[in-house]
Structure formats: structure tokens, C-alpha cells
């Protein structure tokens, strides 16, 4: 596990030093600042749209960051040939997978925390109010959603190059984020095989919609009860473990070709 | 003497269109501790494949490989190894010191031990003054030295070097050779593949020649090469003979 | 892997071919370039999204209720906990929270007249800011000079303020511009014309211009012949020169009715105001 943590530290250092995350934070702050300065038909004191847009951006940017960071790690090790010197150390492939995931997840969660703080600060500056307990719950569930997304990114990247892994991860997680919540509406009129396929998709893909508390935060519905929260966290953890196991199965006997060294 | 490397009846086959390609065919050889062994062969002979099996990157189709008596499939077998890959690279966003330090941590080093090992390696590589610079600013030779440093940070008993001077200018080669010489003097077991026969002749006491996935020669250099003959001549002769037999 | 990429590539290529050929056809019709056409379509879509967002805000984040399946699924249960489904409305000062979305809708598409009208309506009613409502409608009028609905809304505002000449001017302009690009046989569009005529008739009646007022009332009957209260008023005006209910009182009643039924933001299918909470 210690070796996994060391691998995670290298992921952290890379993200921090490559500055991608700063660009996203600046983008979020710039967009929120622009929103707060918007002239709303001469009215003042409205803040809900700022928190709403901010949280939407936080979800969007954290998603982009999660897929990019997680899908990049393993293919980059192989492309640069650093995988050979890394695996020559007393480290197992499972430790490598866990380390890469842990690094990607924690760095994305930290960036996400900064996004949430920026939203909270901007809303506070405009004298708005966000229920802190709902906000914290929303952040925690969002982080668990990111755990699944990073695990998916890692799983796809075990057998693909970065571009392919990132594209497939975006399509897969994007469909889960945007399309899945609409399937119960689409499936109403479906019968036979199409209904079965829709049911399989609905029950098979990760449900990010149940980890997305934006509506509760923005419209002051307050936090959910502890048992619901616990069930959702367990669901997210199980999915994360599932995708990490898939990643390990795909990676544990992977052969690295010499051409990757050239 | 103990065996640092032991390869017994090792075969590696790669799937290919319509069947398999045999990269290694029932090879046998061993390297005793304290030996400096050159692993030579033409391109595509199976040198890197053998090294990759030793490091656990590739699984053997048949046979077995051991390092200090441990099956290479176990990660513990790599605890006493230092490995420098062909065309080595490392995390360029780190400084030289950080790269060595992180590698040391992977071997379980911490605190003062780690610190003193890193400083010693930096001094040995003559990299102390550039230690706090990012690797992305290093020359090819400096990068090679830092990668070599990473493979030495755990004070390994066996050092496996895959074309350690490949792609370096003469000064870079000389620096790497000096380091290998120093490691030999310290009594380390060194197993390295190279195209540079003069380099092998200078630093090695043992020789393994591989051709088309078969070991054609294995033994002490002073017993294999007759007086008046040099390694280059011997190598060419051996490879040509092996080609005729094939 | 290569197969997936090939399929995706073919899909994207086919889609871009369809968009390109459609846009060429559209371009030859409208004279607009492909990029302008895409930008215009994007702006309209964005504006519609912001307008829908305003509607969702009005319902405290609860989206339009649609028929769903998998109701017994555990995911559906969790979904309903995380995303409350109960139909509620914002009220009072909270109404201001829908304004940013309406502002964004009008900024994305300055021809989105409905967004302007809804914004002006809420500013004038719950917000009690008739001045801001006028500003909104003036901006709407500048961007949409041939739209009669803006004139009708502005006439209502002037009537609420008791500015009769300005209201008269707006009703006249509104009638001149009616129906614009709308279908003159649509019931809603006909209702709008009837409202313009009704306000005009009452204003004329107040000024003592009885024959002109009767003429305007008769025009309402041309559209909706079944309206007995209009028939009665014409009869009273013809017989006694005045009606039993004073035009100013009728105007007040009419305006308050318009306010009560004008909650345009609440435009759900099968919407029943008795089965849900009006929060805050």
C-alpha cells in the first residue's frame, strides 16, 4: 500500500507541475465572476443561478480532469518507457493500478474541493446562502462519483493509448451522466428486445444521477438522511472496486512490446 | 558461488498471425554473483526478451528464470535488482533528486538512509550540482545517468543494463563505462546487453552470446577468446557459425 | 478498438455531411453562411435552455414530470430522494431567482419575446418594479420592433400606472402590428387581439368617445361572438350612453384577472395549482 501511495504522489506532482488544473480553476473563477457581474434586468441579490452554474461547471470540469488524468497515466508510462524501470522495482501491477487510481482520484478531488470553495466564496460575496450540510454531502457524493470515473479511465487505459482511452471514457461516463437518467422516460413505450436492452443499460451503467446533489443544494432541499448517504457511498465504492478489478485483470498479464521503447 | 541469475530451459513464444513466433528457444545459462557478464547478440536475437523475462515484464512460455533463487514472477525477486532500460526515460517533471528519492521510497527507504543514499548516488554520478534542476532541462547523457542512479539507489546486488550506452556521445559513454567499472570494483554482479563489443571487452569477465533465440556461447571471456584474438573477431565468428547451423 | 473508432468516424462523417448539405440548402435560401447558421441555431437552443431553466427554477428545481418506467428499481427510489419530484412554486422575493435565466435567455436570443414578457410580468407583479418591467419591454421592443405582444404587455403596464394616453398609444400600435408572424386563426393570438381591443374600447369609453368604443367592442364580437358581457355592454352604451359598470372598474378587474392568469412561467402540461405547494 505504501508503494501505491508513492505512485500516487508522482501523479500529484505531475498534475501540479503540468498546471492543467490551474487552467480549469481560472476558467471556473472567470466564468463565475462574469456571472456575478451580469446585469439581471437591474435587479440585485440573486445568487442561486451562480451556485447552480458553478456546481454545473464543477461537475463538468472535474469530469474532464478526472478522465484526462486517469486515462493518461498508464499509456504515458508505456509510451515513454518509464513503465519498464517502474515495474523493475519491487512493485506489483495491482499496486501500480491502485497507486495511479489513488493519485488521480485524490488530485481530482482536491481540485474539486477548490472548485466548491470558489463557488461558496463567490456566493457568499454576493450575500447568498448555501446550506453547508447539503453542500458537504454534495461534495462527498461528487468525490465518490469521481472515484468511479477515474477507475473507469484507468480501466480503459490499461489496454488502449491515451486518446482512445480518454475518448471511450468520455463516451461511457458521458452517457452515464447525461443519457442514463432519461432512460426511464425513453423506455416507457418500448417493448420486447428494446425494452430488455434499455433495462440492461439502465441497471448496468453507473448511476451518477444518484450521486448528484446539485438540485438539493441549489434549491435548498437540505441534506439527505444518513442511511441514504451511506447506501450511496457503498454503491459508489463497490463500482469503483469493480472497475479497478477489471483494470487489474486487464493489466496483470499485459505484455509490453519493445516498440514502445523506441 | 551463488547464482545471481539462473535460466533453465526457458522458452518464450509470441502469438503471431497464423501461429506463434519463438523468441527464445529452450535457453539455459547462469550468472554467478560478482561476475560482470556481457549478453551479446545481433538485433532481434532475443536479448531484451530475456531481460524482460528476468524482470517479470514477460511470462515464460516454458522453463523458469530465477534471481538469487527467487522466481522472477514474484515482486520480491526484484528487491535486489537495479535495472537500466534501453533508451531509458523518467518523470521529467521531477528534479533529479526527487526522481532518486521517489525510487528509493519504492524500495522502502525513508529518512536519513534515503537522504544519504540519494546524496551518495548523486556524487557518484557527478550530478550533485544539477540535482535540484528539473529532468526536463537535462541533456541525454545526464538523463541516462539519473536513470542509472535510479537503478542503483537500492544498492542492488545485481545490475541489469540493457544497452547502457546506446544513443550517447563519446563523453557520455565514457562516463557510463566509468560507473560500470566502479560497480565492478565494488563486487556487484552486472549483466548487460550491448552492441559495443569493445565496451564489453573492457569491463566484462563473462560472456553469453545469443542468436535467433538460442544461446550459442556462455563462459568466461579468458577461456573463450584465444590469445591474439579479440572479442569482435570471436563474436563475428560465433554468429556466422550459428547462422550456418540454423 | 479500431472497429469502434471506424464506426464513430463514419457516424461523425455522415453527420457532418448531413449538416453541411442541409446548411448549404439553407444558406441558398437565407443567404447566411454555414458558421452563421450554426451559431444562430446554437443561440436559439441556448436561449430555449435558459428559458426552460427559468421554468424549472419556478418549480424549485423540479423538472417537467414525464411518464417513467423502472419505478420499482432501487435506482429510481434513490433518484427520487436525491432529486425531489414534488411540484412546488417559488413565491415572493424568491421569484427574483428566475430572472438571471430569463436575462440569459434574452441575451442568447434577443428575439425570444416570451422570455422578455415573462421577465416583465414577474418584475411588475411579484417584484413590484414596474420601472424595471418597462426597461425590459423597451429593450424587447428595440430588438423586436414588429411584435404586437410587447405592445400589449406595455399597454397593461401603463394601465396599471394609470397612464391612459400611453396605454392607448400602445394598444393602437399593437393592433397595427397584430398578428405579425403568428397564425391569426390561433385562439391565443385571437385572445391577444381581443385584449388589445378591449383595453382600447374601455379607454375610449372613459374619454367619452362612445361610438368609437362601441366599434371596438363590436370588433371583439367579430372574433368571439359568444361573449355576452360584451354584447350587454354594447347594448347599455347604445341605449344609455354609459354602462352600469364603470370602465375604470372594469379595467381594474380585467387587469387583476390578467395578473392571476398570466403566470406564464408555470406552463406545465395538465398543471393544477391545487395539487401542489406554493413555497416561500
Q: At what angle do helices C130-143 and C148-161 cross, to 10 degrees?
A: 160
Angle at B239 between CA B233 and CA B242, to 5 degrees: 140
Contacts of B89 in chain A (CB under 8 A): 80-82
A141 alpha carbon, distance to own chain's centre: 11
Domain tally, chain B:
1
What is the mean predicted confidence (pLDDT) over B111-138? Answer: 93
- List the grid coordinates of B41: 547478440
Q: What is the pLDDT of residue C16?
A: 65
At B94 the three-state DSSP class reads coil
Nearest CA among B176, B230, B200 for reference residue B37: B200
The pairing of strands B189-193 and B206-211 is: unpaired
Q: Which residue of C has its CA nearest to A213?
A: C82
Cβ separation C83–A41 shorter than 8 A: no
Percentages (nearest 5) of helix, strand, coil residues in chain A: 80, 0, 20
Using the beta-carbon criterion (under 8 Å), do C5 and A39 form an inter-chain contact? Answer: no
pLDDT of residue C15: 65
* B101, part of any domain: yes
CA distances in angstroms from B54 to B60, B192, B215, C102, listed in the order given: 9, 12, 16, 67
Backbone angles phi, psi at B84, to 5 degrees: -115, 115
Cell, residue B11 = 522458452
* Candidate from C4, C82, C101 with C-beta closest to A224: C82
Chain B contact set for A9 (CB, 8 A)? 102
- Whole-number Å distance between alpha carbons of A3 and B107: 8
Rounded to an integer, what distance in angstroms lies between the CA atom of residue B158 and that of residue B77?
A: 11
Residues from chain B contacting residue A6 (CB–CB below 8 Å): 102, 105-106
**Mean of the per-residue pLDDT values of chain B:** 88
Would you state the pLDDT for residue A58?
A: 94
Is it the case that residue A150 has pLDDT exceeding 90?
yes
Contact C75 A199 (CB under 8 A): no
Q: Is C257 exposed, middle or buried (0-12, 13-18, 19+ CB in 10 A)?
A: exposed
Least CB-CB distance to B57: which of A3, A9, A87? A87
In angstroms, the CA C65 to CA A166 distance is 35
Chain B residues near residue A10 by CB distance under 8 angstroms: 91, 94, 102
Look at residue B11 and tell me if it is in a domain: no
Contact B78 A88 (CB under 8 A): yes
Domain presence at residue B79: no
Output the pLDDT for position C262. 53
Question: The C-alpha cell of A116 is what?
Answer: 466548491
Closest CA to A143 of A171, A120, A175, A115: A115
Who's near C63: CB < 8 A, 6+ residues apart?
Answer: C56
Partner-chain residue, chosen from A49, A187, A216, that has the shortest CB–CB distance to C69: A187
Task: Please name the member of A14, A89, A92 whose beta carbon is closest to the beta carbon of B91.
Answer: A14
Task: Tell me how far apart the alpha carbons of residues A189 and C66 are, in angstroms, rounded to a whole number.
Answer: 12
Question: Of C8, C84, C100, which has the smallest distance from its Cβ to A46's Cβ?
Answer: C100
A170-218 residue pLDDT tens? 999 999 999 898 888 888 888 889 889 999 999 999 999 999 999 999 9
Instruction: Give the start-to-end residue ranges of the domains of chain A.
Output: 2-255
User: Which chains have 3+ CB pairs within 8 A of A?
Assistant: B, C
Chain B residues within 8 A of A255 when measuring between CB atoms: 14, 57-58
Nearest to residue B64, comparing CAs of B107, B21, B6? B6
Set of chain B residues whose Cβ sits within 8 Å of the Cβ of A89 = 78, 103, 106-107
Question: What is the model's pLDDT at position A34?
Answer: 86
| A177 vs A154: CA distance, rounded Å | 18
**Which residues touch A3 (CB under 8 Å, ≥6 apart)?**
A90, A91, A95, A99, B106
Cell (9 digits) for C269: 402540461
Strands B158-162 and B81-84, how do they pair? Answer: parallel
Q: What is the C-alpha separation between C139 and C262, in angstroms, rounded?
A: 21
Residue closest to C260 by CA, chosen among C270, C252, C268: C252
What mean pLDDT do residues B163-188 have?
84
If pLDDT is split at 50, 70 and 90, which confidence band does A247 have?
Answer: very high
User: How far is C58 from C96, CA to CA, in rounded Å?
Assistant: 10
CA dihedral B234, B239, B243, B244 (to 10 degrees): 0
Residues 6+ away with beta carbon under 8 Å from C167: C155, C156, C158, C159, C199, C203
Angle, alpha carbons A190-A194-A196 (nearest 5°): 100
A and C in touch (3+ CB pairs within 8 angstroms): yes
C-alpha torsion A80→A83→A85→A87, nearest 10: 180
**Residues of A in Cβ contact (< 8 Å) with C83:** 209, 215-216
Q: pLDDT by residue for chain C (280 residues), tens digit each?
A: 444 455 556 666 666 666 655 655 555 566 667 788 888 888 899 999 999 999 888 888 887 767 778 888 899 899 989 988 776 777 666 778 889 999 999 999 999 999 999 999 989 888 888 999 999 999 999 999 999 999 999 999 999 898 999 999 999 999 999 998 889 899 999 999 999 999 999 999 988 899 999 999 999 999 988 888 889 989 988 888 877 777 777 777 777 776 655 544 444 443 444 444 444 3
Q: Tell me the sheet residues that pair with C247.
A: none
Touch test A–B: 3 Cβ pairs or more under 8 Å:
yes
Q: Return the higher-pLDDT residue of B175 and B213.
A: B213
DSSP class of residue A44 equals -
pLDDT of residue C275: 43
Q: Distance between alpha carbon A127 and the CA centroid of its chain, in Å?
A: 30
pLDDT tens digits, A4-33: 999 999 999 999 988 878 888 898 888 888
Contact predicate A134/A213, CB 8 Å: yes
The chains in contact with chain B, meaning 3 or more Cβ pairs closer than 8 Å, are: A
| Long-range own/partner contacts, residues A178-187 (CB < 8 A, 24 or more apart) | A180/A205, A180/A206, A180/A207, A180/A208, A180/A209, A181/A209, A181/C79, A183/C70, A184/C68, A184/C69, A184/C70, A184/C71, A184/C76, A185/C66, A185/C67, A185/C68, A187/C69, A187/C70
Cβ-Cβ contacts under 8 Å, C127 against chain A = 43
In the Cβ-directed half-sphere of C133, how many Cα atoms lie within 13 Å? 25
**Quick one: pLDDT at residue C30?**
60
At B207-239, the pLDDT tens digits run 999 988 999 989 998 888 887 788 888 888 888
Express each pLDDT in B62-116 by its tens digit: 999 999 988 888 877 788 889 998 888 999 999 999 999 999 999 899 999 999 9
pLDDT tens for each residue of A67-125: 999 999 999 999 888 998 888 888 889 999 999 999 999 999 999 999 999 999 988 88
User: Which residue on chain A is closest to C96 by alpha carbon?
Assistant: A46
B113 lies in some domain: yes
Q: How far is CA B191 from CA A44, A148, A217, B184, B207, in A?
A: 75, 43, 62, 11, 9
* B57·A9 Cβ contact <8 A: no
Torsion of CA A82, A84, A90, A95, to 10 degrees: 70
At residue C6, the pLDDT reads: 55
| Residue of chain A whose alpha carbon sits nearest to that of B54 | A88
Tell me chain C's radius of gyration from C-alpha atoms.
Answer: 24
Whether the CB-CB separation of A188 and C58 falls below 8 Å is answered with: no
A79 interaction partners in chain B (CB closer than 8 Å): none
Q: Contact at 8 Å (CB) between A69 and A150?
A: yes
C-alpha cell of residue A21 = 488544473
Cβ count within 10 A of residue B181? 14
Contacts of C267 (CB under 8 A, 6+ apart): C55
Across the interface, whether the CB atoms of C97 and A210 are under 8 A apart is answered: no
Backbone angles phi, psi at C94, to 5 degrees: -60, -20
Q: Bridge-partner residues for B209, per DSSP?
A: B40, B217
Segments forming the whole domain that contains residue B102:
88-156
**Sign of the dihedral defined by the CA atoms of residues B110, B113, B114, B115, in that order:** positive
Q: Which residue among C57, C68, C97 places its CB closest to the CB of A188?
A: C68
Whether the CB-CB separation of C75 and A210 falls below 8 Å is answered with yes
Amino acid at each position: 500500500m505504501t508503494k501505491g501511495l508513492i505512485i500516487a504522489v508522482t501523479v500529484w506532482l505531475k498534475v501540479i507541475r503540468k498546471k492543467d488544473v490551474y487552467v480549469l480553476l481560472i476558467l471556473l473563477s472567470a466564468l463565475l465572476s462574469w456571472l456575478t457581474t451580469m446585469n439581471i434586468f437591474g435587479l440585485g441579490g440573486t445568487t442561486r443561478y451562480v451556485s447552480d452554474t458553478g456546481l454545473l461547471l464543477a461537475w463538468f470540469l472535474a469530469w474532464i480532469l478526472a478522465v484526462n488524468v486517469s486515462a493518461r497515466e498508464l499509456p504515458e508510462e508505456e509510451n515513454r518507457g518509464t513503465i519498464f524501470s517502474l515495474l523493475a522495482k519491487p512493485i506489483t501491477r495491482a499496486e501500480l493500478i491502485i497507486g495511479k487510481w489513488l493519485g488521480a482520484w485524490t488530485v481530482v478531488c482536491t481540485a474539486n474541493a477548490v472548485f466548491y470553495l470558489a463557488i461558496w466564496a463567490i456566493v457568499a460575496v454576493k450575500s447568498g446562502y448555501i446550506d453547508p450540510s447539503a453542500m458537504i454531502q454534495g461534495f462527498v457524493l461528487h468525490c465518490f462519483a469521481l472515484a468511479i470515473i477515474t477507475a473507469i479511465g484507468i480501466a480503459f487505459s490499461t489496454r488502449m493509448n491515451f486518446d482512445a482511452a480518454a475518448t471511450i471514457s468520455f463516451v461511457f461516463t458521458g452517457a452515464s451522466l447525461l443519457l442514463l437518467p432519461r432512460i426511464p422516460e425513453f423506455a416507457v413505450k418500448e417493448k420486447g428486445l428494446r425494452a430488455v436492452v434499455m433495462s440492461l443499460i439502465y441497471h448496468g451503467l453507473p448511476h451518477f444521477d444518484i450521486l448528484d446533489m446539485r438540485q438539493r443544494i441549489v434549491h435548498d432541499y437540505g441534506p439527505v438522511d444518513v442511511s441514504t448517504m451511506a447506501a450511496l457511498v457503498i454503491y459508489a465504492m463497490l463500482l469503483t472496486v469493480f472497475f479497478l478489478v477489471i483494470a487489474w485483470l486487464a493489466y496483470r498479464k499485459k505484455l509490453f512490446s519493445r516498440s514502445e521503447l523506441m | 558461488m551463488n547464482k545471481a541469475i539462473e535460466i533453465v530451459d526457458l522458452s518464450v513464444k509470441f502469438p503471431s498471425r497464423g501461429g506463434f513466433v519463438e523468441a527464445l528457444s529452450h535457453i539455459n545459462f547462469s550468472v554467478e554473483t560478482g561476475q560482470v557478464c556481457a549478453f551479446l547478440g545481433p538485433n532481434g536475437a532475443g536479448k531484451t526478451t530475456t531481460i524482460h523475462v528476468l524482470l517479470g515484464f514477460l511470462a515464460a512460455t516454458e522453463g523458469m528464470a530465477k534471481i538469487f533463487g527467487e522466481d522472477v514472477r514474484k515482486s520480491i525477486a526484484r528487491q535486489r535488482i537495479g535495472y537500466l532500460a534501453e533508451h531509458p526515460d523518467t518523470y521529467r517533471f521531477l528534479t533529479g533528486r526527487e526522481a532518486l528519492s521517489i525510487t528509493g521510497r519504492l524500495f522502502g527507504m525513508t529518512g536519513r538512509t534515503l537522504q544519504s543514499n540519494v546524496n551518495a548516488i548523486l556524487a557518484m554520478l557527478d550530478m550533485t550540482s544539477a540535482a535540484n534542476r528539473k529532468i526536463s532541462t537535462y541533456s541525454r547523457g545526464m538523463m541516462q545517468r539519473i536513470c542509472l542512479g535510479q537503478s542503483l539507489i537500492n544498492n542492488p546486488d545485481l545490475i541489469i543494463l540493457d544497452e547502457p550506452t546506446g544513443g550517447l556521445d563519446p563523453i557520455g559513454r565514457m562516463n557510463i563505462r566509468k560507473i560500470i567499472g566502479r560497480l565492478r570494483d565494488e563486487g556487484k554482479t552486472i549483466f548487460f546487453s550491448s552492441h559495443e563489443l569493445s565496451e564489453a571487452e573492457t569491463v566484462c569477465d563473462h560472456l553469453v552470446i545469443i542468436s535467433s533465440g538460442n544461446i550459442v556461447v556462455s563462459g568466461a571471456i579468458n577461456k573463450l577468446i584465444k590469445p591474439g584474438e579479440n572479442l569482435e573477431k570471436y563474436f563475428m565468428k560465433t554468429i556466422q557459425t550459428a547462422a550456418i547451423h540454423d | 478498438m479500431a472497429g469502434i473508432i471506424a464506426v464513430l468516424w463514419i457516424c461523425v462523417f455522415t453527420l457532418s455531411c448531413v449538416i453541411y448539405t442541409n446548411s448549404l440548402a439553407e444558406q441558398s435560401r437565407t443567404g447566411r453562411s454555414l458558421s452563421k447558421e450554426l451559431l444562430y441555431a446554437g443561440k436559439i437552443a441556448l436561449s430555449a435552455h435558459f428559458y426552460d431553466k427559468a421554468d424549472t427554477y419556478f418549480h424549485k428545481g423540479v423538472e417537467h414530470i414525464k411518464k417513467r418506467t423502472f419505478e420499482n428499481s432501487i435506482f429510481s427510489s434513490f433518484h427520487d430522494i436525491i432529486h425531489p419530484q414534488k411540484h412546488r412554486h417559488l413565491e415572493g422575493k424568491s421569484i427574483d431567482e428566475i430572472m438571471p435565466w430569463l436575462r440569459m435567455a434574452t441575451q442568447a436570443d434577443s428575439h425570444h419575446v416570451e422570455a422578455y414578457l415573462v421577465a416583465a410580468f414577474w418584475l411588475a407583479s411579484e417584484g413590484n418594479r414596474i420601472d424595471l418591467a418597462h426597461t425590459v419591454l423597451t429593450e424587447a421592443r428595440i430588438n423586436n420592433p414588429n411584435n404586437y405582444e410587447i405592445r400589449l404587455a406595455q399597454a397593461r403596464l401603463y394601465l396599471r400606472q394609470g397612464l391612459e394616453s400611453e396605454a392607448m398609444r400602445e394598444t393602437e400600435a399593437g393592433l397595427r402590428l397584430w398578428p405579425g408572424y403568428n397564425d391569426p386563426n390561433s385562439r391565443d393570438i385571437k385572445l391577444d387581439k381581443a385584449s388589445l381591443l378591449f383595453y382600447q374600447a374601455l379607454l375610449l369609453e372613459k374619454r367619452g368617445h362612445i361610438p368609437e368604443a362601441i366599434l371596438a367592442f363590436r370588433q371583439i364580437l367579430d372574433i368571439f361572438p359568444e361573449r355576452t358581457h360584451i354584447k350587454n355592454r354594447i347594448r347599455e352604451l347604445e341605449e344609455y350612453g354609459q354602462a352600469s359598470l364603470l370602465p375604470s372598474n372594469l379595467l381594474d378587474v380585467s387587469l387583476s384577472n390578467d395578473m392571476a392568469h398570466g403566470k406564464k412561467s408555470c406552463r406545465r402540461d395538465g398543471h393544477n395549482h391545487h395539487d401542489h405547494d406554493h413555497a416561500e
